[in-house]
Structure 1
């Protein structure tokens, strides 16, 4: 009798230990289990409409009922701030409070530059609304000033956490309701958005239709995905974010996003195996800034809009995505007509191995170049690769080299 047995609770719309059809009932179950040190929350079939993110806690398993359990984000609204808010306040004054509700999610943003990633951001929960003042559950922590186009919006991830370890998410669909939501960069939100979290596993989880990234995890180690799907998200399907070590993607599908898997900055010792990266608008896989020692194995990378696998050009050798290996993959029909490239290796990159990979250009004749090697690349090791109907099998831009 010395082994702990975790509690299993159920949430449902017409049955279960807790009943409801929104984020609050799911969050209530998570908090109850958290008080006990962890456990499993089973979410019974139904569409659960979320006005706020689900915040995961340590040692929690969140398990749905497969495709019959859908967590769906409600439509978003955005309003300008009506006065400056400084970094030490618990509320903001806005032009219009319509669409904001107590207990709902809120995101404050003010611009720090022209890019869609250049914002100061606060993710919070509305605690009260009085007139045109929205009160928050936490301090603003940044200055949200009118001169920086400060706004408040009902934008939030579907699943989120920060500094939370040892979580499992299984058998569930996350629907971002893309057509009714404003776009948000994946450094701030996503279907899944976690920061400084370790040892998470996702099994049979679909993240679809989010107006941003499908799965985004920043500075997170040992995040594993098995049989997961990122479908029709506005930006990145899977976004292993800066500093994340040992991510694993096995038997996953990334379809119809802007990029399939985007290795951000300093993502190392990762594995993508038996995955399909297909019909993404730009790249199947993108590798760049200090993304080293990753393996792409037995993946099918096909019909992506520009390049199958891109090694991004970085400022110098140290920042380049070196020491990566691609093996036993199928790379076909990437790019637009007669201009596509299977693998494009750019910059001062070193020690890239491409072994036993098949490059195919079928009837659409898009992927005319199998492998393009940039002029500053060194030690590119090619072995056992085959090329079918590729007018240019290997385009080597290095001076004096084959």
Structure 2
């Protein structure tokens, strides 16, 4: 039998062979088979669809559930269990869940209630003064009257602080106890809560706490702040104590939520991006119905009902690229929609805004520095009806607002004209574009103070 010829490999020969092979492997489609010694290119198989998985879920309820109970502890246990396995759904069965602290959500967890039959309600507030000073970075507080306080409670500490030149507060939880001395879940940072500053502690907290997480969904549940039995903080500073508190969280979806009777905001989303709020009903809250908070981007709020709040929809500081559309905003104490400090490139369209206490929509003055004005926002195709008292304003564009577009809106007064103004444009605003608005029923339909200023 003839012995096959032994192949001889040298470094130069190996490199040359590799180059020939590479030339065939990376030839353009349809060309590889035309080259001597190469195989035809394989046709890739069609992409397989990802199957519809039945994700991990656990039920919580007063009875006949995976986890049985009716307070925040059992819901928190369910959330932590689901998060520990990488995510899934916590199903909250019908019942009233009495809350002494927040439920802190985790990334990848979905909260799914049973509509109005699943109610999370705050227990009545307990409050007392501090018996001793608790200063920077301490983790303990001493209560003058500890009656009614329990380990596990969510609390709010308040003080008249000389450093902040006014009221200041911070939110914590009580995690241990020795008589009237309680340990906090984390230090007080650089804040001093002193007897001289009339420091107090009370059981105030958000019902759902969404802090530093992502890819969370909250759906079909009712949140009751029990406003009649809570202290109402100043509407702006109390935003962390409302129905839902988001902070530094991304890709959060909220649908079909009722958030009512809060001592602060219905839904507050601070420094959080890509948030969707859809088909929610926020009503009778001391603060804002929905609060798009500092530095947030790409919030979408659609098909919500916001009524009987201090302000219906509040753009806070530096909110950008938001979309507020197809909402019904009724009976706001001050404004239906408010835009302010550095809120830019937002769109407010196709909303029904009625019976606002001062103005339907305001582009608020925040000083005379153009760097802080609400610029490049669009107000389009809204119905803004019956705004303010005797001297109310439908749409008020104030300060040094720049590049606002106000078009195709119906701005109407169906009561008496009195001293009411349909659209007021401030003297120092710049490049405000008006187009195809229908304004009727006011003492003055359009008051353009830029013209008066230029004549002067």
TM-score normalised according to structure 1 size: 0.95
* C-alpha distance in structure 1 between counterparts of 2:303 and 2:351, whole Å: 9
Q: How much does 1:114 deviate?
A: 11
> Aligned match of 1:227 in 274, 279, 282?
279
2:373 — aligned with what? 320
Matching of residue 112 in structure 1 with residue 161 in structure 2: yes
Matching of residue 58 in structure 1 with residue 107 in structure 2: yes
The residue correspondences of 1:356-367 to structure 2 (distance < 5 A) are 356-363=408-415, 365=417
Q: How much does 1:391 deviate?
A: 2.7
Contact 1:307 1:341 in 2 (8 A): yes
| Count of aligned positions | 399
Contact 1:305 1:335 in 2 (8 A): yes
Contact 2:161 2:193 in 1 (8 A): no
1:100 — aligned with what? 149
* C-alpha distance in structure 1 between counterparts of 2:254 and 2:211, whole Å: 16
The residue correspondences of 1:16-165 to structure 2 (distance < 5 A) are 16-112=65-161, 118-121=167-170, 123-141=171-189, 142-165=191-214
By relative contact order (CA 8 Å, sep 6+), the higher-ranking structure is 1
Q: How much does 1:366 deviate?
A: 6.9
Instruction: Decide which structure has the larger Cα Rg and report it.
Output: 2
Q: How much does 1:5 deviate?
A: 5.0
Call closer, same or farther: CA 1:366–1:101 in 2, change over 3 Å: farther
Deviations 1:69-91 (A, max 9, x none): 11001110111111111333332
1:290 — aligned with what? 342
2:259 — aligned with what? 207
Q: How much does 1:188 deviate?
A: 3.2
Q: How much does 1:376 deviate?
A: 0.2
Q: Residue 116 of structure 2: SS of its match in structure 1?
A: helix
Q: Which is richer in helix?
A: 2
* C-alpha distance in structure 1 between counterparts of 2:281 and 2:82, whole Å: 27
> Aligned match of 1:238 in 270, 290, 293?
290
* C-alpha distance in structure 2 between counterparts of 1:58 and 1:209, whole Å: 27
Matching of residue 166 in structure 1 with residue 220 in structure 2: no
Q: Residue 78 of structure 2: SS of its match in structure 1?
A: helix
Matching of residue 301 in structure 1 with residue 349 in structure 2: no
* C-alpha distance in structure 2 between counterparts of 1:31 and 1:275, whole Å: 34
* C-alpha distance in structure 2 between counterparts of 1:396 and 1:365, whole Å: 18
* C-alpha distance in structure 1 between counterparts of 2:332 and 2:373, whole Å: 24
Call closer, same or farther: CA 1:117–1:251 in 2, change over 3 Å: farther
* C-alpha distance in structure 2 between counterparts of 1:79 and 1:112, whole Å: 18
Gaps of 5+ in 1: none
Q: How much does 1:317 deviate?
A: 1.0
Call closer, same or farther: CA 1:170–1:364 in 2, change over 3 Å: farther
2:448 — aligned with what? 396
Contact 2:161 2:192 in 1 (8 A): no
Q: Which is richer in strand?
A: 1
Q: How much does 1:255 deviate?
A: 0.4
* RMSD across aligned positions (CA): 2.0
